[in-house]
């Protein structure tokens, strides 16, 4: 059995409504007709349910036809398919109504069973076409935005490789030349400084390449992340052990307050997040400061925080911290170089874990990065 065509007729004239009703009855079009004697009633009915077609009289005493048409076409009015009816034959009015969004225009003198049924079918067909066209347009716009995002990522990756990575290798070349000259001259002190400089520059270049490759791989990986129960304290202590040398050089204390905490996550991803956040905190904390990893229960969740007593950030820096186009090479309190890619990687990894990475900071007082994971806090002992 064919589906009934739901029709809303908005017309203040009883005679005209009766004429349309008879024409529909004789048209053979299976339909369910709802009548409204004025614009306010018609709009209320349109908001209450969706119709396959709204037959709207051009001249209503209580509302302007163009204003009512605009509301009926909008989501607030039900995004209805509207076919205009009028006693006038002015083609200019017809063109204006069509430009305003009406799907068709029919003079009341032309209303016959066949013409009315044909106009309703045409309006429905055009509505379906416009719906498909809008869907295709939205899909094209989404793909265009995605391509723009990929192009920006590619451009930024090339800029990082061309600028930051090249700078590290320039430092390596400079230290290599100095080391060669020092060896020739037998200058032990210069040889020692050159070796330390090469080691530091190599470590920075390696860390940058690691972040670049990890982030690029994450963008290309569309597989679902498998989660498991993880000992957060174990990962936190491994993290501070890895950062111990850099922290010791700056007399920064590393603290772990995660005793007995179990969370639901991905071990490697969580380890990478904590490693990058702690290394970043050490970089921007002056000598004598502290970096702390803390886990606090929040009902069925665990809030993980990495807090430092570092230089902090102003509000405008925080707002653009995770924007790919806004990444800025920054220098730590001991001259450490950074591209900002580590934080971008952290943001994306945390999102893959089903959480959101947030940050709060005060200039000269420190910064806290935090995210929430599912888990249970089990106090040791």
Predicted confidence (pLDDT) at residue 137 exceeds the cutoff of 70: yes
Position 51 pLDDT exceeds 80: yes
Among 162-176, 221-235, 272-286, 345-359, whose mean pLDDT is lowest?
162-176
Q: Which range has highest mean pLDDT (144-148, 193-197, 254-258)? A: 254-258
Task: Judge whether residue 220 has pLDDT over 80.
Answer: no
- Report the pLDDT value the prediction gives residue 368, as an integer from 0 to 100: 95
pLDDT for res 358: 93
At residue 197, does pLDDT exceed 50? yes
pLDDT at res. 377 = 46
Indicate whether 379 pLDDT > 50. Answer: no
> Does the pLDDT at position 207 exceed 70?
no
Question: What is the average pLDDT score of the chain?
Answer: 82
Topology classification of domain 223-381: Heat Shock Protein 90 (3.30.565)
pLDDT (tens digit, 9 = 90+) per residue, 109-130? 888 888 888 888 887 777 777 7
More confident residue, 260 or 155: 260
Q: Give pLDDT, residue 381.
A: 38
pLDDT at 11: 92
Average pLDDT over residues 249-265: 91
CATH hierarchy code of domain 5-111:
3.40.50.2300
Q: What is the mean pLDDT of residues 223-252?
A: 86
From-to residues of CATH 3.40.50.2300 in the chain: 5-111
Q: Please check whether residue 369 is in contact with residue 346, taking contact to mean a CB–CB distance below 8 angstroms.
A: yes
> Phi and psi for 83 in degrees, rounded to 5?
-115, 125
Q: What is the pLDDT of residue 289?
A: 94
Where are the domain boundaries for CATH 3.30.565.10 in the chain? 223-381
Q: Per-residue pLDDT averaged across 175-190, rounded?
A: 82
Q: Give how far the C-alpha of residue 232 lies from the chain's centroid of Cα atoms, to the nearest Å.
A: 28
Does residue 327 carry a pLDDT above 80?
A: no
Residue among 124, 126, 127, 106 nearest 116 (CA) = 106
Band of pLDDT at residue 332, cut at 50, 70 and 90:
low
**pTM value > 0.75:** no
| pLDDT (average), residues 366-370 | 94
């Amino acid at each position: 059995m064919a589906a009934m065509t739901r029709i809303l007729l908005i017309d203040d004239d009883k005679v005209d409504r009766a004429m349309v009703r008879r024409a529909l009855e004789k048209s053979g079009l299976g339909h369910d007709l709802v009548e409204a004697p004025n614009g306010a009633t018609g709009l209320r009915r349109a908001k209450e349910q969706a119709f396959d077609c709204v037959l709207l009289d051009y001249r209503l005493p209580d509302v302007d036809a163009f204003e009512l048409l605009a509301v009926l076409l909008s989501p607030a009015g039900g995004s209805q398919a509207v076919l205009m009816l009028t006693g006038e034959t002015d083609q200019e009015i017809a063109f204006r109504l069509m430009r305003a969004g009406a799907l068709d225009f029919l003079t009341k003198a032309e209303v016959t069973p066949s013409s009315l049924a044909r106009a309703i079918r045409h309006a429905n067909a055009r509505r379906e076409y416009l719906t498909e066209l809008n869907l295709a347009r939205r899909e094209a716009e989404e793909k265009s935005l995605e391509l723009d995002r990929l192009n920006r990522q590619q451009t930024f990756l090339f800029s990082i490789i061309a600028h930051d990575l090249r700078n590290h290798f320039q430092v390596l070349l400079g230290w290599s030349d100095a080391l060669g000259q020092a060896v020739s001259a037998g200058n032990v002190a210069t040889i020692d400084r050159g070796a330390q400089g090469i080691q530091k520059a190599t470590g920075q270049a390696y860390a940058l390449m690691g972040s670049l490759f990890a982030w690029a791989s994450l963008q290309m990986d569309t597989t679902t992340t498998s989660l498991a129960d993880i000992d957060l304290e174990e990962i936190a202590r491994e993290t501070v052990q890895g950062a111990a040398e850099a922290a010791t050089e700056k007399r920064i204390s590393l603290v772990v307050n995660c005793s007995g905490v179990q969370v639901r996550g991905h071990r490697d991803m969580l380890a990478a997040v904590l490693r990058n956040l702690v290394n970043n905190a050490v970089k921007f904390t002056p000598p004598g400061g502290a970096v702390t990893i803390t886990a606090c229960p929040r009902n069925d969740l665990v809030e993980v925080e990495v807090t430092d007593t570092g230089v902090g950030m102003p509000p405008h820096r925080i707002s653009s911290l995770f924007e790919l186009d806004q990444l800025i090479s920054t220098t730590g309190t001991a001259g450490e170089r950074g591209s900002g890619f580590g934080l971008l990687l952290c943001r994306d990894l945390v999102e893959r874990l089903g959480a959101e990475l947030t940050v709060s900071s005060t200039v000269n007082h420190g910064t806290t990065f935090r995210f929430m994971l599912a888990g249970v806090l089990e106090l040791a002992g």
